[in-house]
Amino acid sequence: MSVETAVETKTIFGSEVPQPPQHGAAGGVMRGLNFGTGLVGGIGLAAVAGWITAILTPSSASNASFAPMEPTYVYLAVLLGWVVGFMLGIGAFVGPLRWVVGRDVTHADAEYMAGKDLGRKRYWKYTTDHKVVGIQYLIVTMLLLGFAGLLAMLIRTELGMTWTSLFTPAFYNSMIGTHGIAMIIGMIVVVSGPLGNFIVPMMIGARDMAFPRLNALSLWLFVAAVPMLVSSMFMGGIQDGWSVYQPLASQAPVGMLGYQMTIIVFAISTAVASVNLMTTILTMRAKGMTWSRTPIFVYGIFAASIMGLYAFPFFQYSQILGLADRVFATSFFDPLNGGSVWLYENLFWLLGHPEVYVILIPSTAVALELMPVFLRKPLFSFNFAVAGIVGVVALSGLVWAHHMYMTGWAPAANYPFMLSTELISIPVGFLVLVAIGTFWRGTAWTRLPLMAVYAVIFNKMIGGVTGVYLSDVPADQYFHGSMFVVAHFHFMLMGAGLFGAMAGIAYFFPKMTGRFLDERTGSIGLWTAFVGFQITFISMFVAGLQGQPRRVLDFDDQFNLSNWISTIGAYVIGIGMLIFLSAIINSWRSGVIASSNPWGSKSLEWQTETPVPLENFPVLPVVTERPYNYGVPDPYEAELDSIDEDLTEKAGTK
């Protein structure tokens, strides 16, 4: 058999490149698939799976407490059908299925999948281009955060109306649970998703991610997970807080399945995204980009990927076991049948603590990344910034049981966990040092991104100091489970995390959309939200100090005042966030056109043109110097040098 055919060549950036032979014609069913067919597939398969399960389940099936099992089985089948159907419908399995039938994804197909010449349609498809995935992540995350923020408003409304009750206790509990987990998922994604995908490959001088199709997979799994979370609100809800402690969760209505399936699917998405980002960063950095020439944001995303990769499996196991308890009547977490509630708590917090650093480190890294640009000086002590990130990653897996000081699980283990938790303040302190060292004597170009960094550092200091109380077992004996904890982690996750994400979005907005984020509206939104944030959560600290437990919908009169103030503040945050959102939407549609490098940055991602072409760089860049090479010689150093000379002369004449 002869395979002798004329080798096709193609002109790529002005040179003839031989093309490998392709098997099979380009095109096929893939070209007709998009988000719409995904919805049809998902809803269709969900309906079919639910219907078949309903037929197959005997109506008498019930669990040990005589509750009928049919809704559980049907809802589970619907959720599974949704995920599989949606992923099939949107074309997630086109590549693997082609392998199965022995056809290649041809070059033309790959270009089609990357969204070449598709215009706006590519944002609705299973597109592999990292820039499209980044924008898609941004939109989905903002929708999710908006949904969770709406729940936050409802929660604060209920708590502020101390004279009456708006919601039933069951619905209130389901709101706090859904708010919690939706915010956590949204915050995990909000920097690593949009900026990690859009910016990181450009920042390291690569043409795309290492595994473009996996990139799309991680996004669309995330998209498939979100409706399951929302659907659980209509199936009795997640009434057990975001941590869904067992055995309370086993009492919950079938809505709990929505939580469990969301986590199981989201953990796969996170694993895929983490591996993809790590491989990209490890193997695809531009020539000459040694580790000391790699921007700090890349370190931040890499660190978040490592932590996500090892932490999420624990969460996934815990939910798979919980799902088995519910569906198959196993008893992993049922103490009456030999299970352990402490097992669940351990598995959960093995995720739970690294996860807060998965949120915090990328937003901190964004802040550190943009500071040198706006202060026109190098990042202070780059090595310390890296050491800080490495230290946080190293300790992140050793501190989880500080959430369990008061559980009675292992009182003797409180000593080492207090030690490891308080040690984390040292690497975090490094990051603070880097930030204030970069501010030191810098000419601040007070544009919106830099101003957001001020907010981040302020909030992070408050969150950090209050965290020191909570890391201490004796103080935690008072604060554990109180509103003080709620205020503390909102300062960290929202005050440092979300404001950091806002800084990052404002900074990279010109690269992502070609337009400036409107300075005026954006700043008004940012500072309104900031003021509201301080009002809300400082009065929540007060409620916690007074002894108000968290997750209560009703409380003693002594807590009324702080809760009223807190609710007023929450509305101010809401208004601020809406203003910021309107700034994003308006600027995206009709903002001031930005040049390709409006901030005058020296970083690689700004050196390519805007809008960024499909493969980012016409010629792959070569890096020859350290990042953040801004600044002029320090005048004081010259002065010191002259003193040196004087001293040398004096020593010489002695």
Partner 1 sequence: MSADTLIPEEPEAPTNRPPSMQRVRLWLQRPYARKVLILTVLIGFLLLPLAWLLLAGMNQTGAPASEIMKDIEQTVFVFTLVSIPITAFVFAVLVYSLIGWRQISGDEPPMQDSPAIRTNTIGVILWTVSSTLLAMFLVVWGLVELAQITANSYGTISADEQPGQKSSEIINVTGQQWVWTFEYPEHNGLTSDILYLPLDRPVYFNVTSKDVIHNFWAVELGVKIDANPGAITQTGVTANKLGTFNVRCAELCGMHHAYMQTQIQVLEQDAFDSWVRESGGKKTS
The one-character DSSP state at 162 is T
The contact mask relative to partner 1 for 505-544 (x = CB under 8 A, - = no) is -------------------------------------x--
- Nearest in space to 383 (alpha carbons), one of 440, 320, 430: 430
Q: Which of 439, 527, 564, 571 binds partner 1 (CB under 8 A)?
A: 439
CB-nearer residue toward partner 1: 36 or 474: 474
Full DSSP string of 539-587 = HHHHHHHHTPBSS-S---GGGHHHHHHHHHHHHHHHHHHHHHHHHHHHH
Q: How far is the CB of 642 from partner 1 (least distance, A)?
A: 11
Tell me: cis bond preceding 247? Omega within 30 of 0 counts: yes
Site stretch for partner 1 (CB under 8 A), options 103-111, 261-269, 353-361, 445-453: 445-453
- Of positions 62, 63, 446, 590, contacts partner 1 by CB under 8 A: 446
Q: Which is nearer to partner 1, 204 or 470 (CB)?
A: 470
Question: One symbol per residue from 185 to 224: x for binding partner 1 (CB under 8 A), - otherwise; what is it?
Answer: ----------------------------------------
Interface with partner 1 (CB under 8 A), residue from 9, 292, 558, 642: 558
Query: In angstroms, rounded to a whole number, what is the distance separating the alpha carbons of residues 552 and 173?
Result: 8
**Residue with Cβ nearer partner 1 (556 or 609):** 556
Q: Cα–Cα distance between 296 and 389 in angstroms, integer?
A: 9
Bond prior to 598 in cis (omega within 30° of 0)? no
Angle in degrees, CA 647, 648, 653, rounded to 5: 95
Say if residues 506 and 518 touch (Cβ distance below 8 Å).
no
Half-sphere exposure in the Cβ direction for 64 (13 Å, CA): 12
Binding segment (CB under 8 A) for partner 1, from list 16-24, 123-131, 143-151, 552-560: 552-560
Q: Which of 480, 490, 511, 515 binds partner 1 (CB under 8 A)?
A: 480
Question: Exactly one of 150, 154, 286, 461 binds partner 1 (CB under 8 A); which one?
Answer: 461
Residue among 26, 97, 324, 473 that touches partner 1 (CB under 8 A): 473
Both tokens assigned to 479: 């604060």
Shortest distance, position 358 Cβ to partner 1, whole Å = 23
Say how many residues touch partner 1, by CB under 8 A.
Answer: 97
Segment 280 to 339, residues that bind partner 1, using CB under 8 A = 335-336
Task: For the CB of residue 508, give the shortest distance to partner 1 in the complex, in Å.
Answer: 16
* Residue matched to tokens 């300062």: 491
The 3 state secondary structure assigned to 460-485 is HHHHHHHHHHHHCHHHHHHHCCEHHH
Q: Which of 17, 29, 56, 170 binds partner 1 (CB under 8 A)?
A: 170
**Residue 7 to residue 4: CA distance in whole angstroms:** 9
Q: Is residue 593 classed as helix, strand or coil in its secondary structure? A: strand
Decide if residue 8 touches partner 1 (CB under 8 A).
no
Residue 610 CB, nearest approach to partner 1 (Å): 16
Task: Based on the shown chain and the rule CB under 8 A, indicate whether residue 475 belongs to the binding site for partner 1.
Answer: yes
Contact region with partner 1 (CB under 8 A), list: 3-11, 61-69, 549-557, 582-590:
549-557
126 vs 405 by CB, closer to partner 1: 405
Q: Which stretch binds partner 1 (CB under 8 A): 4-12, 55-63, 167-175, 606-614?
A: 167-175
d(CA 568, CA 239): 25
From residue 276, alpha-carbon distances to 114, 217, 606 in Å are 16, 11, 23
Q: Which residues contact 150 (CB under 8 A, 6 or more apart)?
A: none
Query: Which tokens sit at 15?
Result: 């040179």
240-279 binders of partner 1 (CB under 8 A): 240-241, 245, 247-248, 251
Q: Residue 251: which of 62, 67, 418 has the closest Cα?
A: 67
| Interaction of residue 234 with partner 1, rule CB under 8 A | no
Contact between 648 and partner 1 per CB under 8 A: yes
- Among positions 103, 116, 207, 551, the unique one binding partner 1 when judged by CB under 8 A: 551
Nearest approach, Cβ of 345 to partner 1 (angstroms)?
A: 9
Q: Kindly state whether residue 173 participates in binding partner 1, applying the rule CB under 8 A.
A: yes
Contacting range for partner 1; rule: CB under 8 A; set: 113-121, 127-135, 236-244, 281-289: 236-244
x/- site string to partner 1, residues 596 to 635, per CB under 8 A? ---xx-----------------------------xxxxxx
Q: Pick one of 118, 188, 375, 579: the residue that binds partner 1 (CB under 8 A).
A: 375
Shortest approach of partner 1 to residue 75 CB, angstroms? 21
Contacts to partner 1 from residues 381-410, by CB under 8 A: 381-384, 406-408
266: buried, middle or exposed (CB in 10 Å: 19+, 13-18, 0-12)? buried
| Cα→Cα distances 161→55, 458, 527, 534, Å | 46, 30, 26, 20
Give the residue with the Cβ less far from partner 1, 32 or 600: 600
Rounded to an integer, what distance in angstroms lies between the CA atom of residue 309 and that of residue 267? 9
- Which of these, 564, 542, 452, lies nearest to 497 by C-alpha position? 452
Q: Helix 255-283 and helix 212-232: axis angle, to 10°?
A: 160
Longest CA pairwise span in the chain (Å): 105
